[in-house]
């Protein structure tokens, strides 16, 4: 039984070590992107450089609107006309492949190369 508890502790150690390692690998794979692409209904509507600050740009499509801000090479949504406001509470994004999605307004904001 004592031996088994020792093995259990080794197991926990290995699990934590592996997860720290994988975290490091994934973190290293993340690279800051260069442009911000705004898709509305799946079509590219706007493209900005992430390195140029942009104050309160309003993406509109009919009655729907999402207001985005680019600052310090990060992009986020400050206001959304949709009821759930999930995109507006999303943390700023800056790395390649990251995205903020507003499902009700069919707006996707992604960072690309």
Partner 1 sequence: MKTKRLVLLGVLAACTMVLSYLETLLPPIFQAVPGIKIGLPNVIIVFILYRFSLKDACAISLIKVLSAGILFGNAMTLLYSFSGAVLSLAVMFILKKTEQFSLVGVSIAGGVSHNLGQIIAAIFLLQSAQIGYYMIVLAISGVISGTIIGLLGAGLLKSTEKIKLFNQIN
Q: Which is nearer to partner 1, 58 or 103 (CB)?
A: 103
Contacts of residue 19, defined as CB under 8 A and 6 or more positions apart, other chains included, come to none
Q: With contacts defined by CB under 8 A, how many residues of the chain interact with partner 1?
A: 22
Per CB under 8 A, which of residues 69..108 are in contact with partner 1? 95, 97-98
Q: How many residues does the chain have?
A: 113
Q: What's the CA gap between 75 and 35, in Å, rounded? A: 10
Give bridge partners of residue 65 from the DSSP assignment: 60
Q: Which is nearer to partner 1, 54 or 88 (CB)?
A: 88
Instruction: Tell me how far the alpha carbon of residue 68 is from its chain's centroid.
Output: 14
Chain residues that interact with partner 1, rule: CB under 8 A: 1, 3-5, 7-8, 11-12, 15-16, 18-20, 22-23, 26-27, 29-30, 95, 97-98
């Amino acid at each position: 039984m004592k031996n088994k508890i020792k093995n259990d502790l080794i197991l926990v150690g290995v699990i934590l070590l592996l997860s720290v390692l994988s975290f490091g690998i994934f973190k290293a794979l993340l690279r800051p992107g260069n442009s911000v692409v705004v898709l509305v209904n799946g079509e590219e509507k706007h493209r900005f450089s992430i390195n140029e600050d942009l104050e309160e740009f309003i993406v509109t499509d009919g009655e729907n609107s999402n207001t985005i801000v680019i600052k310090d090479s990060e992009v986020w949504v400050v206001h959304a006309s949709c009821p759930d406001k999930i995109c507006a509470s999303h943390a700023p994004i800056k790395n390649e492949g990251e995205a903020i999605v507003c499902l009700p307004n069919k707006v996707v904001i992604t960072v690309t190369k």
